[in-house]
Amino acid sequence: MKGFKVTGIKAYQQIVRAVIKIINFGEPETLSGAGSVLKIADWLKERGYRKPLIVTDRGIVQAGLIKGLCSSLDAAGMDYEVFDEVVPNPTIEVIEEARNIYMEKDCGCLIGFGGGSSMDTAKIAAARVTNPRTTIMQMTGYFKIRRKTAPVIAVPTTSGTGSECTVAAVITNSEKRAKYSVGSAKLMPLLAVMDPELSYGLPAHITTTTGMDALTHAVEAYISTIPSKESDRYARKAVKLIFENLETCHADPTNTEARENMMWASFYGGAAFTRAMVGNVHAVAHNFGGMYHVPHGLANAVVLPHILDACRESCDKRLAALAEDAGISLEGSNTREQAEKLVGKIRELNRKFGIPETIKELKKEDIPLLAERASREAFYLYAPPAYYSPAEMEGILKKMLPEE
């Protein structure tokens, strides 16, 4: 992308960098370790919060994962409500339904319990509670939420989204078959609970795709053009923990230490991209989710090596640094080769986990629209090391077409 657009990009990135520097994103309080979910009731009572609305999905309820939380709330004498209608890639309609239940049942806080969809639903519903005149679509983009949201506690059951410590959420507009990001410092949860026992029963493919989602957050934050010492520190910690623990979680699902380390990796990845943003991987993955309902972690896992191949020359030094954190031997190799080794290691992990190199739902006739949307999203919302025109993006997307 040339000419005035390049100048515009540089000016935009300088503005974003300046804004991010003056924002105090903060971090949620944390509870961690096996059984930490049982401490939520006491935490709420000590701070004067009442009647939580537990926002989750039916699969979580059927698996019995909220039983411990509910029992501890009962023992503490706290009333609560359960909303279990969350869907993958949460829609405006579902979020509004959660908000309506909150209001009708006179709740006092929300507990997003589950994957990113549950936490994002809770966060945007909380924003709608206190900003009733602002529609969800009016919140999309950055800094559109005017008033402080209702209190949110985040309890992840996967290790990937990072939503428990981010100022972002992603919603789906069903009519437009498109996903949109909402970014505001007001979306930061008050408390993040990393209980490794909640992730023991995850299917292997969810463990691995959400783990690769966390890796994507960390990598895209580190190769961003607006990094900071803080975002770099979080990103590198996340990358190191993921390469040290994700394969163990896949092979030994009840390894408490590895599971807790992956929860912290997800947390650190979220903290990193909150401060440095994501990039083209997310721009493409969001559109696969909006168009075909591809789970976000899977979409990121598939897209990541393709985008890194495309932009590697623009960020080879940064990728080489991450290769060291990934435990890759760098002896006798130059920066370019080290970056290639990292991308190769990511592909190797994908193959080991059975993650494909293509998106089976992708249709050739959809590529122009997907490319235009992804290119625009990256251009206006993110700070990747390289921007691609719609035509250039089409070339990248074609590599993800399933074989005929």
Task: Report the DSSP pairing between strands 168-173 and 178-183.
Answer: antiparallel
Say what percent of the chain tops pLDDT 90: 89
* SS (HEC) of the chain: CCCHHHHHHHHHHHHHHHHHHHCCCCCCEEEECCCHHHHHHHHHHHCCCCCEEEECEHHHHHCCCCHHHHHHHHHCCCCCEEECECCCCCEHHHHHHHHHHHHHCCCCEEEEEECHHHHHHHHHHHHHHHCCCCCHHHHCEECCCCCCCCCEEEEECCCCCCHHHCCEEEEEECCCCEEEEEECHHHCCCEEEECHHHHCCCCHHHHHHHHHHHHHHHHHHHCCCCCCHHHHHHHHHHHHHHHHHHHHHHHCCCCHHHHHHHHHHHHHHHHHHHHHCCCHHHHHHHHHHHHHCCCHHHHHHHHHHHHHHHHHHHCHHHHHHHHHHCCCCCCCCCHHHHHHHHHHHHHHHHHHCCCCCCCCCCCHHHHHHHHHHHHHHHHHHCCCCCCCCHHHHHHHHHCCCCCC
pLDDT tens-place string over residues 295-316: 999 999 999 999 999 999 999 9
Cα end-to-end span (Å), the chain: 32
Say what percent of the chain tops pLDDT 70: 94
pLDDT of residue 25: 78
- Tokens representing 341 are 């080794």
Cβ atoms within 10 Å, residue 276: 29
pLDDT tens-place string over residues 45-94: 999 999 999 999 999 999 999 999 999 999 999 999 999 999 998 999 99
Does residue 336 or residue 17 have the better pLDDT? 336
pLDDT of residue 23: 72
Q: What is the mean pLDDT of residues 142-155?
A: 96
pLDDT of residue 3: 44
Cβ atoms within 10 Å, residue 227: 19
pLDDT band per the 50, 70, 90 thresholds, residue 331: confident
pLDDT of residue 114: 97
Q: Dihedral through CA 71, CA 27, CA 89, CA 400, nearest 10?
A: -130
Q: What is the mean pLDDT of residues 221-245?
A: 96
pLDDT of residue 380: 85
373 neighbors 366 (Cβ within 8 angstroms): no
pLDDT of residue 10: 60
Residues found in the chain: 404
pLDDT above 60 (res 374): yes
Q: What is the mean pLDDT of residues 193-206?
A: 96
Q: Which of 53-57, 121-125, 143-147 has the lowest mean pLDDT?
A: 143-147
Alpha-carbon distance of 160 to 170, in angstroms, equals: 14
Is the entire prediction scored with pTM above 0.85?
yes
Residue tagged 């053009």 (tokens): 225
Residue 335 Cα distances to 222, 286, 312, 322, angstroms: 16, 31, 11, 11
pLDDT band per the 50, 70, 90 thresholds, residue 4: very low
Alpha-carbon distance of 264 to 258, in angstroms, equals: 10
- Average pLDDT of the chain to the nearest whole number: 94
Cβ atoms within 10 Å, residue 377: 20
Burial class (CB in 10 A: 0-12, 13-18, 19+), 22: exposed
pLDDT of residue 5: 58
Pick from 279, 276, 241: which is nearest to 262 by CA?
Answer: 241
Domains and CATH numbers, the chain: 26-199 (3.40.50.1970), 203-398 (1.20.1090.10)
Alpha-carbon distance of 194 to 196, in angstroms, equals: 6
pLDDT above 90 (res 24): no
pLDDT above 70 (res 17): no
pLDDT of residue 263: 98
Q: What is the mean pLDDT of residues 282-293?
A: 96
Pick from 351, 402, 400, 304: which is nearest to 208 by CA?
Answer: 351
Q: What is the mean pLDDT of residues 331-355?
A: 96
**Single-letter code of the amino acid located at 171:** I
Residue 115 Cα distances to 257, 346, 402, angstroms: 20, 23, 28
Alpha-carbon distance of 355 to 205, in angstroms, equals: 8
pLDDT of residue 404: 72
